[in-house]
Every structure is written in C-alpha cells, then in structure tokens.
Structure 1
C-alpha cells in the first residue's frame, strides 16, 4: 500500500488557524490531506472526519498534530494504530510521551512546523 496522505489532527474550518493553513499549504503542494477533529465542518472542500469515531484510515504517511499534549492523550493509541511513517508535533503540540511511543514503534517523530517544512521543501 502506498502511504501518501497527511492526516491533519485538530483540523478546523477557521481560516485564521494554523491547522487550516497547513491544509492550504498541502493543497498547493499537491499533497493529499485528510482533516480530522472533534469540530465539524470542512476544510477546502474536504469534510472534517470525527476524531471521536476513530475512523479506519489507510495510506497515512504523515500525521501533523495541532492539538496540545493534554488533548492528544485520548487519541494516542488510535493515532499510533494508523502506522504512519512520521508524526509532526507542531509548535504547541510537543508531547514527549507520544514522541517516545512513536520512536518505539518505528515511527519518525519530529518537533517541527509543517508550514515551514512545506515552504522550505523539507516535506
């Protein structure tokens, strides 16, 4: 299976939020993304999946987090079960516990900024 999708965790329809900007940057870079959150709505025509339902997803290469560590706790096992290649902990989303769990499962954890990574060609 080809892993080429980015899961935006903490997605929002609010265009003033960084999670929304990440979707814009990914779309411009022609990267497929899936928004997921406890919020409803859509992002650039993509419906926001309900994180509470823990939908079965395949082909996730990258998880980019826009939730702080406290709000990640409930979803850690679910996110790791998606077996991404990497997890990006954007500023404010750093989580040493999940970082270590990802490493232990062979997932590359990065304390980085998705927007900067895309803009600088590091994505």
Structure 2
C-alpha cells in the first residue's frame, strides 16, 4: 500500500538522511510532500515551507530536532497524519504525547530501515 508521506525537515543536501528518505520513498512508490526551510527540490518534489496544512497525509517522517519542533507542533498536529515517525535524534516525549492524545500513532524508528525491511 502506498503511503503519502510528509518529509518534515527536507533538505537538498544529498548527505542528509531526509534527502535519502525522500529519494527512497519515491523509489518505493510512496508519494511525498517535502517540507523544509530552504527552497529546492528533492526526488522531483519541491520543498515547501511549513504553512499549507495537508489533509491526506498517512505519515510524517520527522527530520527536525526536538529544539526546533515546538514551533511546528500546530503544523504537525493539524495535518492529522495516521502516524509520525521519530527518526533517530528527533525523539520528543511531549510531541509524542500530544500526538497520541489526538489518536496519532507514533513510532521511534528509522524510515530508511523501515523501507529496507519492508515494514514501512
């Protein structure tokens, strides 16, 4: 099943995990929305600023550290994804609890590993 995924913290830098995840998600056939601070394009999809609330997102895969997440809480929670993947280094108990309270599943995992093991 294809899962529309919002890559939060998208980067045009090919050494960043968010870049690798966006590219691999597209390679696996998952539609993506790239959201970040800098303009650019990853895997053929433009990076947009965290302004437009998307209503049809299955998964948000998080590549923003906890120090910068608080300003994104509203954006993340209003998107109402089915799940949020907290990639290594993005773990945040407060955001996990807020998401769980709204019925959003949270997972501390690595998107790249989930894709490679067929668990995505």
How far apart are 1:58 and its partner, in Å? 2.2
| Cα contact 2:53–2:75 (8 A) shared by 1 | no
Provide runs of 4+ in structure 1 moved above 4 Å: none
- CA deviation map 1:55-85 (0-9, x unaligned): 1312100000000011111011111001100
Q: By how many angstroms is 1:116 displaced? A: 0.3
Match of 2:97 in 1: 100
Superposition pairs of residues 1-123 of structure 1, within 5 angstroms: 4-51=3-50, 54-123=51-120
Unaligned runs of 5+ in 2: none
SS in 1 for 2:21: helix
Indicate the SS of the match to 1:35: strand
TM-score (norm 1): 0.93
SS of match in other structure, 1:7: strand
8 Å CA contact 1:4–1:59 kept in 2: the answer is no
**Cα distance between partner residues in 1 of 2:3 and 2:78:** 16
TM-score, length-normalised on structure 2?
0.95
Alignment check: 8 A CA contact 2:53 2:78 kept: no
- Is the partner of 1:48 in helix, strand or coil? strand
